[in-house]
């Protein structure tokens, strides 16, 4: 841990939506929060920083494309120099490029795989060695219910999110003996900018599939992430926790 003995928590995609809610949840324990995002500007990240400041947490944010291996190596070397070894990594950055497979371009496929899956490889590898050396640390990867059940129009996204599940379980097996835990959270249909762009008809169709008859909140997801990264989950690794109002059981 760093000098203040607060946990260092790095959240990719931390500027808004689920990532912001995760940051706010960790702020409650006065963690050292590091936000990584790739928005066109810093507006949402600044807003998140202001919300975190209300909890007495001075967060740092970085605008870095986590699909770029070189950029991630440089990012974590700076983070570790400034704040100490990462205690919790939340791999949450993600994008969609939805279209039916018949119409999907190679760039739709590549962009989603790079941002959603390769970024998880990049960031996890960047924290793994220091965590192993310290014999402690938690990684929580954000997958999706769609990685489990599939979704028409999201072959690229579903493949990336199913990939995260396999990655999570494999790395969990590799590092369990070193005192590290790696888990995934698979959100269902959550109220964020990502889902705000969906046509009303698609939203209604999703809602019909949810036994609890409501969208999830970013906070619903953040609670599961926080719990997995806590001592309460000390014997849990390699799991995928579904947060979806019963959409998939
Ligand atoms: N909203 C949902 O219903 C839902 C459901 C299941 C899973 N998820 C997953 O949860 C995660 C967060 O989703 P959200 O709804 O909060 O999305 P969002 O669009 O509100 O936020 C996405 C975040 O990812 C960041 N990001 C995008 N590309 C990046 C890149 N190349 N490098 C660094 N950061 C990048 C953005 O800057 C932003 O901070 C994603 O992985 C998403 O796939 C969301």
pLDDT, tens digit only, all 249 positions of the chain:
455 689 999 999 999 999 999 999 999 999 999 999 999 999 999 999 999 999 999 999 999 999 999 999 999 999 999 999 999 999 999 999 999 999 999 999 999 999 999 999 999 999 999 999 999 999 999 999 999 999 999 999 999 999 999 999 999 999 999 999 999 999 999 999 999 999 999 899 999 999 999 999 999 999 999 999 999 999 999 999 999 999 999
Ligand 1 residue neighbourhood (C-beta within 6 Å): 12-13, 15-19, 36-39, 65-67, 92-95, 115, 142, 144, 187, 189-190, 192-195
- Per-residue confidence (pLDDT) for residue 5, from 0 to 100: 81
Residue 194 CA to ligand 1 center (angstroms) comes to 7
In a domain, 3, yes or no: no
Q: Give me the domain span that covers residue 23.
A: 8-243
Residue pair 67/61 in contact (Cβ under 8 Å)? The answer is: no
Q: Is residue 222 part of a domain?
A: yes
Residues 19 and 36: beta-carbon distance below 8 Å? no
CATH number, position 116: 3.40.50.720
Nearest to 57 by CA among 80, 34, 75: 34
Count of structural domains within the chain: 1
Q: Is residue 54 one of the residues assigned to a domain?
A: yes
Nearest to residue 142, comparing CAs of 206, 227, 225?
225
- Determine, yes or no, domain membership for 12: yes
In a domain, residue 248? The reply is no
Q: Whose CA is nearest to atom 39 of ligand 1?
A: 13
Catalytic residue among 38, 157, 235, 248: 157
Structure tokens at 16: 């808004």
Ligand 1 atom closest to Cα of residue 145: 6
The answer to whether the beta carbons of residues 14 and 92 sit under 8 Å apart is yes
Please indicate, yes or no, if residue 215 is contained in any of the structural domains: yes
> What letters, b where the CB count within 10 A reaches 16 and e where it falls short, cover 80-114?
beebbbbbbbbbbbbbbbbeeeeebeeebbebbbb
Is 62 considered catalytic here? no
Angle between helices 43-54 and 17-27 (to 10 degrees): 20
Measured in angstroms, how far is the CA atom of residue 18 from the centroid of ligand 1? Answer: 7
Ligand 1: centre distance to CA 133 (Å)? 30
Q: What is the predicted pLDDT for the residue at 51?
A: 98
Tokens of 208: 């019909």
Assess if residue 2 is contained within a domain: no
How close is the Cα of 3 to the center of ligand 1, in Å? Answer: 31
- Relative to beta strand 8-12, strand 60-63 is unpaired
- Furthest-apart CA atoms within the chain: distance in Å: 54
Closest atom of ligand 1 to 44 CA is: 39
Classify residue 249: in a domain, yes or no. no
pTM of the predicted structure, to 2 decimals: 0.98
Closest to 191 (Cα-Cα) out of 223, 219, 149: 219
CA–CA distance, 120 with 115 (Å, rounded to integer): 8
């Amino acid at each position: 841990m760093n000098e203040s003995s607060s946990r260092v928590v790095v959240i990719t995609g931390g500027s808004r939506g689920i990532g912001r809610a995760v940051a706010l949840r960790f702020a409650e324990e006065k963690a050292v929060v590091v936000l990584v995002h790739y928005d066109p500007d810093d507006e949402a990240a600044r807003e998140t920083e202001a919300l975190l400041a209300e909890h007495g947490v001075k967060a740092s944010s970085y605008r870095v494309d986590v699909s770029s291996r070189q950029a991630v190596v440089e990012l974590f070397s700076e983070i570790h120099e400034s704040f100490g070894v990462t205690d919790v990594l939340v791999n949450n950055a993600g994008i969609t490029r939805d279209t039916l497979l018949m119409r999907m371009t190679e760039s739709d496929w590549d962009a989603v795989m790079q941002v959603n899956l390769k970024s998880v490889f990049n960031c996890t590898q960047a924290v793994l060695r220091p965590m192993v050396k310290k014999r402690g640390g938690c990684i929580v990867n954000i997958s999706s219910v769609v990685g489990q059940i599939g979704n028409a129009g999201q072959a690229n996204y579903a493949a990336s999110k199913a990939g995260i599940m396999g990655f999570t379980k494999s790395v969990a097996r590799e590092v369990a003996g070193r005192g590290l835990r790696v888990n995934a959270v698979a959100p269902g249909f959550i109220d964020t900018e990502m889902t705000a762009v969906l046509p009303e008809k698609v939203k209604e169709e999703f809602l019909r599939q949810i036994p609890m008859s409501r969208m999830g909140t970013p906070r619903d997801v953040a609670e599961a992430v926080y719990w997995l990264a806590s001592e309460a989950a000390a014997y849990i690794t390699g799991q995928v926790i579904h947060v979806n109002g019963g959409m998939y059981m």
